[in-house]
Amino acid sequence: MSEAPTEPPAESPAEPGAHSAAEPGAHLAADTATESVAEPPASSADANRRQLLYWRLLSRVFEADEQPVLENGSMAVVGDLGLPAALLDPSVSVDNVVQRFPDLAAEFDGLMAPGLPESEEIGADEVRRAALVSKLLLNVFATGSGAVSAGDLARWQQDAGWFERALGHEPGSLRGHPAGHELGGVLGGLEGDLVNRMRLREVLADPALARQLTPSMSLIEQLLRDKANLSGIALANAKALIRRFVDEVAQVLRTQVEQTSVGKIDRSVPPKRVFRNLDLDRTIWKNLTNWSPEDQRLYVDRLFYRHTARKNTPSRLIVVVDQSGSMVDSMVNCTILASIFAGLPKVDVHLIAYDTRAIDLTPWVSDPFEVLLRTNLGGGNDGPVAMAMARPKIAEPRNTVMVWISDFYEFDRSQPLLDGIQAVHRSGVRFIPVGSVNSSGQQSVNPWFRQKFKDLGTPVISGHIRKLVFELKSFLT
């Protein structure tokens, strides 16, 4: 994007009857009044026009009321450039503008892509670019407040798609993978806020609108909270969205699990004699005595292979998930992660979810979609109830890891839960408390429990889910 707007120039003392310096856009009136006296260079005039467009953009984003001087000046600039006045109207979507003026589509594409050459002089082209950029930024980031209709959400998604195209991405690619780009998280947050302000059931009842929804953590939370009130087409569309999100996250996590290299090489197992395991350096070194100076060749009479087998003992993974609404991000990630580890050889996975009651979800642990449909977000916490269900599942403590996902705000049940955790830890179980495993790493965890876990030698894991992947894989494989 072009350089950010600078501070407006200082004004000379106001004449009697002139606008006050505090009045927005007053300096623009003064500039206009002096134009007849001294005509500025073209580059200076274009810089002022571009500056005007950006000041108008900031005014519309951060203030609800229009500034007449900025609006009128911007309208004049857009008219001089031969651009449609609809560019200045935030109620008109970018898609609508492009439909009316098809030639603008090519200008929006790649408009803000990184690596574009910066112009040394500000000319009419830079002013035109500022007008188009302002349209994108205003429509995407000025989402206002209050109720949102299904049509409002659909229009915002179309505008966000054009914004992504302007940055050189496919529409929906940034929102679909927020962890891969800083702006992806911002766009996902804006969409989540719009979803929270709208009548979600209205959208889900319309298959066309439901297909336009981008699966995100905030949307999944809304669906999980409201699933009991959905039926028919709306419920089917909600399940399809949850399934899409689960599959997308599972694909990312599965790759992280596969790429995490841990475990000791088991040299008691003979190496597989296949080409991918061939140790070429060692083979050459061991056969150097067979070098023939006359033939200028190395004759190999023995091949050497790398050991790749890793020590693998049967392990049990017990995942206990707090169903409170504040833990939805971690709950979704860890539920999917549990299903991935359930597919590994010699890993026995058990899953328990709890609020004031505990439920054993082990029969569905291989299908995180079914697990999420059986959860109930919100309500109180009763950790000791979950611990009472989890402890009988410990058969061989030394080969068991227990992952406990919660914010650990147990109030009068804090000490009983800590007593149970300490007993499990003393028995030899690897206990891993998890406060947050998401893209942001922001999570509130009970400071009392955080200190107790630190004293126990099992600090709370908070941050990117790769931390938990490494901890689990190093123990289970």
366-402 confidence digits (pLDDT tens): 887 788 777 776 666 788 999 999 999 998 888 888 9
Instruction: Give me the mean pLDDT over the 297-311 stretch.
Output: 78
Within 10 Å of residue 412's Cβ, how many Cβ atoms? Answer: 6
- For the question of whether the overall pTM of this predicted structure is more than 0.85, the answer is no
What is the token pair recorded at 385?
């109830």
User: What's the confidence (pLDDT) of residue 325?
Assistant: 57
DSSP 39: P
- Asked if residue 288 has pLDDT above 80, the reply is yes
Burial 168-177 (b: 16+ CB within 10 A, else e): ebebebbbbb
- The burial of 225, by beta-carbon neighbours within 10 Å (0-12 exposed, 13-18 middle, 19 or more buried), is given as middle
Residue-averaged pLDDT of the chain: 76
- Asked if residue 75 has pLDDT above 80, the reply is yes
Structural domains of the chain, with CATH: 26-141 (no CATH), 150-250 (no CATH), 265-309 (no CATH), 315-476 (3.40.50.410)
List residues bridging with 436 in a β-sheet. 462
Contacts of the segment 253-259: beta carbons below 8 A, 24+ positions apart: 253/333, 253/336, 253/337, 253/340, 253/465, 253/469, 254/340, 256/465, 256/466, 256/469, 257/337, 257/340, 257/341, 257/469, 257/473
Q: pLDDT digit string (tens) for 290-300?
A: 888 888 898 88
